[in-house]
Amino acid sequence: MDRLADAAARVGSDSPLVALTAARDLADAAAEAMQQAVDWARAAGRSWREIGDVLGTTRQAAFQRFGHPVDPRTGAPMSTQVAAGAADRAVAILADMTEGRWEEARRDFNAQMSQRLDAGRLADGWVRMASLVGAYEGMGEPFAHRVADHTVVEIPLRFEAGEATGRVIFDEDGKVAGLWLRP
């Protein structure tokens, strides 16, 4: 809590960079406090549904963000660390797609993805999306999280007549193992 108070005091600084650093520190401290509160609620026997309700999300989303999954194969805690740079790489892939650079979008595909999704099929998928929600307008902030042995990056996409989510899945080798566009 002292960290929160210190960061909050610096937000009002006369220097924009000091204020920005303080805001980042405040966000980090708040995230840490949120994790501790969720862990305490779970230790007190509260369900993921109750926690999700308080956070305004689903129980699954609350678990994915704050849970401590255990690998049923080994009984060991699963890693929650996302691959470094995954969010930026996912944004680059979707940016290539928005510009019609189909081969560039495929450059980091693993062997299975390369075999299943050539440049033509990738372009066809983008055309299907445009037929559902219109012309592409922009993307929001990526959200990277861990799912089992993969890093999953979800990116909100804005189109003229609706929204969609781009999902890029990276395998343990950092290669693209999955790519979806969902309206």
Q: Averaged over 63-74, what is the pLDDT?
A: 86
Element (H, E) at 56: none
List pLDDT tens digits, range 108-127.
999 999 999 999 999 999 99
In angstroms, rounded to a whole number, what is the distance separating the alpha carbons of residues 156 and 70?
Answer: 29
Length of the chain: 183
Residue 25: its pLDDT value, please? Answer: 86
**Residue pair 11/29 in contact by the 8 Å Cβ criterion:** no
Identify the DSSP state of 55: H
Cα 68 to its chain centre, rounded Å, is 17
Question: Regarding predicted confidence, which is higher, 10 or 135?
Answer: 135
Residue 77: its pLDDT value, please? Answer: 83
In angstroms, rounded to a whole number, what is the distance separating the alpha carbons of residues 74 and 96?
Answer: 39
Work out the percent of the chain whose per-residue pLDDT is above 70. 93
Residue 83 has pLDDT above 80, yes or no: yes
Residue 99: its pLDDT value, please? Answer: 97
| Confidence label for 5 from pLDDT (cuts 50, 70 and 90) | low
According to DSSP, the residues that pair with 146 across neighbouring strands are 151
Cα-based angle 65, 8, 144 (whole degrees, multiple of 5) = 20
| Confidence label for 9 from pLDDT (cuts 50, 70 and 90) | low
Question: Regarding predicted confidence, which is higher, 75 or 41?
Answer: 41
SS3 170: strand
Burial per residue of 57-93, b for 16 or more beta-carbon CB atoms within 10 angstroms, e otherwise:
eebeebbbbbbeeeeeeeeeebeeebbeebbebbbbb
Residue 149: its pLDDT value, please? Answer: 85
What are the structural domains of the chain? 2-66 (no CATH), 86-182 (3.10.450.590)
List pLDDT tens digits, range 154-180.
999 999 999 999 999 999 999 999 999
